[in-house]
Amino acid sequence: MRSMTDLSSAPRAQQSLSDRTEPARRKPDWIRVKAPVSKAYHETRTLMRELNLNTVCEEAACPNIGECWTKKHATVMILGDVCTRACAFCNVKTGMPRKVDPLEPEHVAVAAARLGLEHIVVTSVDRDDLPDGGAGQFVKVIEAIRRETPNTTIEILTPDFRGKMRPAVEAICAAGPDVYNHNLETVPRLYPTIRPGARYYASLRLLEEVKRHNPLIFTKSGMMLGLGEERLEIHQVMDDMRSAEVDFLTLGQYLQPTPRHAKVEDFVTPQVFDAFGSVARAKGFLQVAASPLTRSSYHAGKDFAEMRAAREALFAKQSRAAGHQHA
Ligand code: SF4
């Protein structure tokens, strides 16, 4: 196994997807998770089926589903279960999506209320087929949740809205989510194979655009490690995110969903994740989650509360410093 900290090896040649049909490597002990068996897990599942909602937890075959659904934390995936892109890391189906469900916003809001969520994470498939990329449905979902359960804080994880980013971000920011997440996923060198439909700098611009519209919306972005990226490339992505004033960084281990997906190049140890976490904090992120099982929405509510407290503490410190200067 090559370590994430080994910088001596040359970057590997890029592979086509058809070269990647080898079986998944055995997972190290720190990746193994318990099978989902609890009563609360089944109740969460039943509610999602009743409301005709998709979840990224199931579609992405997330390893944390047993833990999260037992706590009734599910991440809803709006705009259907078929994506117009075909990223090499993602388990969601690709093809021509169905029509947008007009009842979906209300169903998401009802799910948030019935699960008793203090914080909800809503994501979507890419909808390059829609004139607004699906931004309007995000707006309706935010508005429905605010009506149904006004104390629930809202985190959205959006696609890049390729070719329609500015109006999409403007409309969503006007609806006022608490956290706007858009993942950079990997280092720019690996985009052509891992995220071929996206552009690294377009995703960075989206994050900048959110802050330009409303600096008080927390921004969040994440990367998967273990795809063949190098340590200094990860540091560079962190610097790029900080230049875009991203508040919250998530780093987690990439897991190969099927043998047809990009293979795992490294299983990064928990210690190396800790080291990246320390670097990220030193670079000024308000909040960092870095561990093998970290996912964008893992422990999102607890992390949001900590991030909000960190910002309040920072604002208080800045206003004390300003007071001293004027004294
Ligand atoms: S980490 Fe996120 S995607 Fe995975 S099960 Fe938990 S809420 Fe769902």
Please state, for a pLDDT cut of 70, what percent of the chain lies above it.
92
Model pLDDT, residue 143: 98
Model pLDDT, residue 187: 98
pLDDT band at 10 (very low <50, low <70, confident <90, very high): very low
- Out of 34, 53, 75, mutate this one to test ligand 1's pocket (max ligand atoms within 8 Å of CB): namely 75
Q: Distance between CA atoms of 278 and 271, rounded to whole angstroms?
A: 11
pLDDT band at 20 (very low <50, low <70, confident <90, very high): very low
Model pLDDT, residue 216: 96
User: Which residues, in sequence order, are CB contacts of 326 under 8 Å at separation 6+?
Assistant: none
Bridge partners of 289, per DSSP, are: 250
Query: Over the stretch 72-81, which tens digit does the pLDDT of each residue have?
Result: 999 999 999 9
Residue 18 has pLDDT above 70, yes or no: no
Q: Distance between CA atoms of 191 and 181, rounded to whole angstroms?
A: 19
Q: Distance between CA atoms of 230 and 278, rounded to whole angstroms?
A: 17
Q: Tell me if 181 CB under 6 Å of ligand 1.
A: no
Q: Tell me if 41 CB under 6 Å of ligand 1.
A: no
Q: Tell me if 295 CB under 6 Å of ligand 1.
A: yes
Which residue lies with its CA nearest to atom 5 of ligand 1? 65
Q: What is the mean pLDDT of residues 154-169?
A: 97
Model pLDDT, residue 37: 80
Q: What is the pTM of this model?
A: 0.90
CA torsion through residues 66, 83, 174, 206, sign: positive
Nearest partner of 300 among 61, 51, 75, judged by Cα: 75
Pair of tokens at residue 103: 């009842």
What is the whole-number distance in angstroms between the Cα of residue 293 and the centre of ligand 1? Answer: 10
* Residue 136 near residue 77, CB atoms below 8 Å: no
pLDDT band at 227 (very low <50, low <70, confident <90, very high): very high
Residue 95 has pLDDT above 90, yes or no: yes
Model pLDDT, residue 7: 31
Look up residue 118 and give its amino acid: E
Q: What is the mean pLDDT of residues 239-261?
A: 96
Instruction: Looking at the CA of residue 295, tell me the nearest atom of ligand 1.
Output: 1
What is the whole-number distance in angstroms between the Cα of residue 316 and the centre of ligand 1? Answer: 33
Model pLDDT, residue 325: 77
Q: What is the mean pLDDT of residues 204-223?
A: 98
Pair of tokens at residue 23: 């079986």
Q: What is the mean pLDDT of residues 44-71?
A: 94
Bridge partners of 287, per DSSP, are: 248
Query: Over the stretch 34-54, which tens digit does the pLDDT of each residue have?
Result: 777 899 999 999 999 999 999
| Residue that is written with structure tokens 């279960």 in the block | 81
Which residue lies with its CA nearest to atom 2 of ligand 1? 297
